[in-house]
Structure 1
Amino acid sequence: MSILADSLARVKPSPTIAVTTRAAELKAEGRDIIGLSAGEPDFDTPENIREAAKAAIDAGKTRYTAPDGIPELKRAICDKFARDNGLTYSPAQVSVGTGGKQTLYNALMATLNPGDEVIVPAPYWVSYPDMVLLAGGTPVIVEGAPEQGYRITPEQLDAAITPNTKWFIFNSPSNPSGAGYSRAQLKGLTDVLSRHDHVWTMSDDMYEHIAFDGFEFCTPAQVEPRLYDRTLTCNGVSKAYAMTGWRIGYAAGPEPLIAAMRKVQSQSTSNPCSVSQWAAVEALNGPQDYIAESRAAFQRRRDLVVEMLNACDGITCPVPDGAFYVYPTIHGCIGKRSPSGKILETDEDFASELLDSEGVAVVFGAAFGLSPAFRVSYAAADDTLREACTRIARFCESLT
């Protein structure tokens, strides 16, 4: 008899972590590897945030805190939602977790029963379906095709809803595509959700502040106030403030849901790192200049990568609205032969051969639920991105 739980067989390890690990192994062997698989800013955490963390250490703020966040951070989160999104929450409606992933996972663990369905638009962040499966639910994938700008339509959402639907997971701007929903496009979705009062919305707003070309970010509870009482609005400091390793995410929603999430967290990890919490207070309350500066750098990098990838044989790269990813399709590369002699039957084949042949690590599209494509994270230096795209172009030219 195996010691492992049956539920573990329903999920797979994170493909993005697997690719990043493989790239690191090859680099350790002496290979010249460019890693474009990790989803984290390459900038340093702003100095004022680092100084706040040091001050917290010196002040002895290194002990256990409340399981789901210190009062000061919950207050800062409430102020952020009011300032940026026009949403009013009390501290009792806020949960702070060890990264954005934990808040999402806590909510699913606290609410899903066997047979419950969760609608997940594709392409999706790799963890959404597997977290649903671990929590005992059933992911229902709805594809946002490239010709739809990687967005799903109200008609698709309405058709996917059943009496068993419990959650709709929404992410804009999106990981992996960078696609964002305009206010009008989101209103189309919220109109559908308003007609189905048994469906809750989990809005993952992690890339809120990384948006380009005047794209106006909006979140479901902001666009449709009728959804406020059945929406969990999730965010974090990881992407906006280059704080991925600090591991602070947060969410706000109805008090009974937040209390249930607190119960899950109290019996798993308990509180997030105390020092990181104080750093997050400074991130949310302190100067916000860094956001505009990093956004400008990301937009410059986006334009570089989109232009160079669209010049590659067999690749079509849409222009994303935000985040720091592009999600090009590779229909023109499938079925061709790589320099090693392998026929590229899938986008996983493409990514694997690209890594072996040119030393560029990307994540294959099947990991995100929509193929054939791959994801590039352009959270890297301009020269690194230029070299990576040159290698990708060379690889595409070598296919026969």
Structure 2
Amino acid sequence: MAEPASTSVLIIGGGPSGLLLSQLLHRQGIDSVVLERRSRDHVLSRIRAGVLEQGAADLLRTAGVGARMDREGLVHEGIEIAVGGRLHRLDLAALTGGKTVMVYGQTEVTADLYAARDAMDGVVIDAAEDVALHGLETDAPSASFLKDGARQTIRADFIIGCDGFHGVSRRSIPADRLSLFELVYPFGWLGLLADVPPAADELVYASHPDGFSLCSMRSPTRSRYYLQCPLDEKVADWDDDRFWETLCARLPEELAARVTRGPSIEKSIAPLRSFVAEPMRHGRLFLAGDAAHIVPPTGAKGLNLAASDIHYLSTALIDHYRNGDDEGLERYSERALARVWKAERFSWWMTSVLHSFPEKGAFAVRMQQAELEYLLSSPAAQASLAENYVGLPY
């Protein structure tokens, strides 16, 4: 089938944010095309975040893709923090007037969105290589790409960059038009996925002198665990036995005793960084998700920030096409960044409080201990964490 020569909204990137925007627009009668550099199988093999804010879950329902999430996802009303060998539960629902989070893997979100786009005959072009953006400061922007060895071009009213930190979209904006803010952390997260029951009913964030760890899950039978590790570590140096031993050594004894060990089905190391590009618009190009901002995963904000970007963008584009109202488009970057920076602050704070930073010296270590003691003894501090964790309003 020949690819379309033009569309209203051209979306670069076939991950969850790009597919979600396409789905939301299609349900309002606005046509779009999604260009994805990799194959669908590759996109669906990515192991990513698993905690959805209430706003993100509601947005998926609005897009008509929440049915399986509501059947299979795990609603969590709290989290646990392990400090000094003891577990402390924070009741998110009680602290926020009933708000919760949903544990449902990003891979599953993406699969649901692909199924929805297929059911509506949405146009998603996979394996679109060597994408280049043109005419971004004109009223007729376009993207050219290679597909099956042939060069093709699609024109659009607007181009939306949902192609991640390393994608072409942000790199297509002249450097003198962008302000970049970045903090690279001196460690990464070693993650292990295994088909074993979770050690706890809720997520456990564990602070330990040897390094941070996280006990998470994807389902009642699939667990995801993380360990703080040096940036120069290699996955090949971590066999399963070493991972399980290290994890259990960093957890309180009562929790370590509940860890079910099993063979890993995926293992990877992710570096941690905080990053923001301003503004999130250049002419007819709008950035969303990791193309514009990165957060360390400690606060579970990466996918959720992408969802809030898509909320602002979808409502702005719908206003443009339905009502001729461009205020949402004009204010998109301002609105999105206001929420982005608050999420960046929370993710930076969670990372700073829970991870080990021995290179910062004894004073910093004692300040970190004091911060944790204050958090666990202050209802006001706990309410602040809970408000941010379940997600600030859009």
TM-score (norm 1): 0.28
- Structure with bigger helix share is 1
- Structure with bigger strand share is 2
TM-score (norm 2): 0.29
